[in-house]
Structure 1
């Protein structure tokens, strides 16, 4: 007789859904990431380019514009320092991402009501915008940590290229639509000699931001959160600062920091330059901003493939030398009549979008490549703090300089752009060559490609040399005779090892200049690695030679049977 407890147990087991394989969970999570990015880009499109016009419509001065440009990012980055601690307390990254995104969406409801209930209190608006940035910034390192665990290293450039293309399409559409909405309500203001209808347009934009971010939060709740153990002995922020010039990641952060300072000098005044100095309409302003989005979208695939093949350093170096041209082009635009300047600025922003796409994608890729899984949350937070300090410092520096620099061509803003271009170029020349790549790249040989992990001494991997000696075989039919795998010759092995050793010695010499560790000790480590590789290669060749007679006898027996 079957017991009642056994029947209940059998029914419970029947109701249980089968466990979903991990690779399917990862695939679905990456799809959810794209949906999340789709709706988040709508929120970004209707807000990021229009917060400054909103402040200008509320009659904000240059000091307040600098505060709107700098303080939200700075405060958001500071609170990223607590992201790692939050993961340790709550033991889940997915829940933190969901609740922060949900709260972030709710912030836009009081913001859309602001012009109608507290129009004169700009500091209150700044507080709300800062709070929204703090909640979003707190989530950033946790989100990057989850994506870093889900996306394979060799697919990161391709995935982010695909995701960013979709994001930029929606960003463009939402930005363009937002510009049309504001242009319509601005016409109502002009027709009736009023100055309040445009705030209804801003209210519509911020309501769309609330809806889109609200939907995105529920996609975050469906992510797969892989097993994760926060680092127990993570470096503090001050320890990171102390050792910045002693490792590759620190040099990278230093370069990006100074480059962002040089760029942020003009950040608070671009919208002011277009709307007040050039007297463009909201629709013209939207077309100029949309040009940068189009440039980003069109070039994202190119930059992603470049990063996957040649590493983040190549894309970073190229884009860093392109970006100083952008402010110089804006200076040239001041020489033209308004209509010609409008067309010229569209082309300039198209170029700027292409260059910034490469810079942002390569810095994002470098951050993933140069940090370990356990340290990624902390190191992402440290990076974002430095960038936010750079943006804030640059914005306030620009606000101080705007009142003292001489007027050049149209206004002092043009002078700031000239200074920004010179500083960007100077920082790039001084720092970019010191940054070394930290991921898989390809070392080219005539007629053949050898894939090898970058030969350098990094804080996480040490000195590594990995030789791949065979091609990947293509799938063949079951009854077809397998094609022999091509093997590299001894001469090619020697060439590769020689080139690898030359590259390694170059990195060791550079490491000597930035670390206190003696060069002799490093060279001894290199010698041990080389001896190990030679020994493994000799053993492998010996096994192949011993296996050849057996293969020949097997082929003869097959011939006799035929």
Structure 2
């Protein structure tokens, strides 16, 4: 069920999310509205995480709560499909719905992380997640390719509406398979409050350093995201087919390297392997600085997919490795998520502002320097050794 859930999620997600930016631009979105497509979902997450965590800690059936949220999340795909029927505020509606869908999605994702840490022993996680990512990558790539072709052949906005509606149907299947996980709820312990967990966390220095370094890297990583979309569409004149090619080549790069990253993590540890991936991600903006051809951009996107595969898979593995094996696990996930989502909210807006101040090439080179520095922080965290006495207390 975990694999079927991943496959249906990937197909639905890849039929809508790679095309939301160009859809919003066609509806009249400006640069800042495009940046909000990246940042507003993070703001929604920040608003919802603490109340949701408190509720989860008190809920009798967290699993049921999680898969209901998954159904709600995928329903927003349908709302985005209906936006062209509105007479005004259409780009604003796209931004709003994409932002709002992340509120239930981030909480369902936190629950999923907790379930996976219970269901899959640490020694098997690398292989399990690598296999899942390969299958979801292959079928997600096929979904992007077919969607991109059809969007350029079907009159606007009908093609988008049809594809987004089909994405909604796959989203409902994704939620259904989520609900069929063979997860047995454990007898609930008395849950600690977030404040109590913060006090306990002071003993978990490596988790704190990991969270802070993740904040900095997420900020430097995501500040360029809206700029790539804006540059491809406005300067390189990418159509839906080229946007799908960008996603496809990145996915192929990821698929080809998931196993390699898993093997590297087994040999060197999640921390070192993840840090290597962030260093590779760091040079991508510099490679894009002088690009004037979508074909060259696609080659760089292929390399980006190879590098990003390590980060997306190993950041989860490293987080699960650092979680305490006690009742505060969900609080730790919540705090880490708040930290990274805060960076994800600020970064695209700050990046768009900075891009408009310094220009495209300077922005790309400066972003590369900032990413390299943040990558070095993650290397430092990976090399940091914890005291045995701290581990015995439940810290990490």
* TM-score in same-fold range (> 0.5): yes
Provide the alpha-carbon RMSD of the alignment: 2.5
Note if 1:357 corresponds to 2:357: no
RCO higher in structure (CA 8 A, sep ≥6): 2
Matches within 5 A, 1:245-264: 247-264=205-222
Query: Normalized per residue, which structure has more helix?
Result: 2
8 Å CA contact 1:255, 1:432 repeated in 2 = no
Q: Which consecutive residues of structure 1, in runs of 5 or more, have no partner in the other structure?
A: 1-31, 186-196, 335-340, 406-411, 438-453, 465-510, 512-562
Which residue among 144, 154, 161 is the counterpart of 2:113?
A: 144
CA distance in 2, matches of 1:150, 1:245: 26
Note if 1:135 corresponds to 2:135: no
CA distance in 2, matches of 1:455, 1:122: 49
8 Å CA contact 1:265, 1:416 repeated in 2 = no
Match of 2:354 in 1: 401
Q: Structure 2-normalised TM-score?
A: 0.92
Q: Which stretch has the larger CA shift, 72-81 or 250-259? A: 72-81
Q: How far did 1:242 drift?
A: 10
Match of 2:37 in 1: 68
Match of 2:344 in 1: 391
8 Å CA contact 2:253, 2:306 repeated in 1 = yes
Match of 2:360 in 1: 413
Q: How far did 1:426 drift?
A: 1.6
**Structure exhibiting the larger radius of gyration computed from Cα positions:** 1
CA distance in 1, matches of 2:386, 2:218: 29
Which residue among 221, 238, 244 is the counterpart of 1:286?
A: 244
Which residue among 159, 162, 165 is the counterpart of 1:207?
A: 165
Match of 1:330 in 2: 288
Q: How far did 1:403 drift?
A: 2.5
Q: Secondary structure at the match of 1:107?
A: helix
Change over 3 Å in CA distance of 1:172–1:456 after alignment to 2: farther
Q: How far did 1:37 drift?
A: 0.5
CA distance in 1, matches of 2:379, 2:241: 38
Match of 2:123 in 1: 154
Change over 3 Å in CA distance of 1:223–1:463 after alignment to 2: closer
Matches within 5 A, 1:2-151: 32-151=1-120
Q: How far did 1:315 drift?
A: 0.7
Q: What are the superposed Cα offsets for residues 191-210 of structure 1, whole Å, 9 maximum, x if unpaired?
A: xxxxxx32111101210121
Matches within 5 A, 1:346-495: 346-373=298-325, 374-405=327-358, 412-436=359-383, 456-457=387-388, 459-461=390-392
Q: How far did 1:118 drift?
A: 3.8
Q: What are the superposed Cα offsets for residues 115-144 of structure 1, whole Å, 9 maximum, x if unpaired?
A: 122443433333222221111112111111
CA distance in 2, matches of 1:108, 1:377: 28
Q: Structure 1-normalised TM-score?
A: 0.66
Q: How far did 1:433 drift?
A: 1.5
Q: Which consecutive residues of structure 2, in runs of 5 or more, have no partner in the other structure?
A: none
Q: What are the superposed Cα offsets for residues 168-221 of structure 1, whole Å, 9 maximum, x if unpaired?
A: 111111111111111113xxxxxxxxxxx3211110121012100111222122
Q: Secondary structure at the match of 1:333?
A: coil
Equivalenced residue count is: 395
CA distance in 2, matches of 1:251, 1:297: 30
8 Å CA contact 1:40, 1:213 repeated in 2 = yes
